[in-house]
Amino acid sequence: MKRSELTEFAVEEEGFKLKIRRGTNGLPIVSTGRGSNPPFSGSDTNPPMPIPSAAHNPLATAGGSNPPQEEAGISFIKSPMVGTFYRAASPESKAFSDTGTKVVETSVVCIIEAMKIMNEIQAEAKGTILEVLVENGQPVEYGQRLFKIRQG
């Protein structure tokens, strides 16, 4: 952290959160857990936050965790990063993919803008797009389902 001048770094994935912050004396402070409690506050006055069920957690149904029963031959193209989802290269351009579009592993299906950089997202699977799960211009999370695809 000293070499890169970072003062704070955080990662959150499926109910797990890791936060590293440089303290005032330059030593790292590390916090892990399921809630957003302050790291090592001295007294634990805030109990850990319960993990919400899928009925109360929009990410669980929108792409956070897999449902218990998957349909045979159906998979999902998931976001490899946090950013803003775009179906086309520009507002005037045709969408990269739509319902019924046949894709191969290298087909560009959308763009995710992250930190002013446009990242082309490839299907990474061969099949037919059954459903677009995200609206154009909507923010997306890492691992969120973007497209429902029938493999083959």
**Beta-ladder partners of 17:** 12, 33
Number of domains in the chain: 2
pTM: 0.54
Verify that 15 and 78 share a domain, yes or no.
Answer: no
Grouping H, G, I as helix, E, B as strand and the rest as coil, residue 94 is coil
Chain centroid to Cα 80, Å, comes to 6
Q: Is 5 helix (H, G, I), strand (E, B) or coil?
A: coil
pLDDT score at 42: 43
Record the tokens describing residue 83, joined without a space. 């950013």
In a domain, 102, yes or no: yes
Q: What is the rounded CA–CA span in Å between residue 118 and residue 67?
A: 30
47 within some domain: no
Instruction: Pick left, alpha or beta for residue 26 (phi over 0 → left; psi -120 to 50 → alpha; otherwise beta).
Output: left
The answer to whether residue 26 sits within a structural domain is yes
**Contacts for 108-114: CB closer than 8 Å, 24+ residues apart:** 109/77, 109/146, 109/147, 110/85, 110/86, 110/146, 110/147, 111/85, 111/86, 112/79, 112/80, 112/81, 112/83, 112/84, 112/85, 112/86, 112/140, 113/83, 113/84, 113/86, 114/81, 114/82, 114/83, 114/84
What is the rounded CA–CA span in Å between residue 102 and residue 50?
42
49 part of a folded domain:
no
Reading the chain (152 residues) residue by residue, the pLDDT tens digits are 666 667 777 788 777 777 777 765 555 555 555 444 444 444 444 445 554 444 444 444 444 444 445 678 899 999 999 999 999 988 898 999 999 999 999 999 999 999 888 999 999 889 999 999 999 999 999 999 999 999 88
- Both 15 and 77 in a single domain? no
Residue 133 and residue 81 in one domain: yes
Structural domain harbouring 109: 58-65+73-151
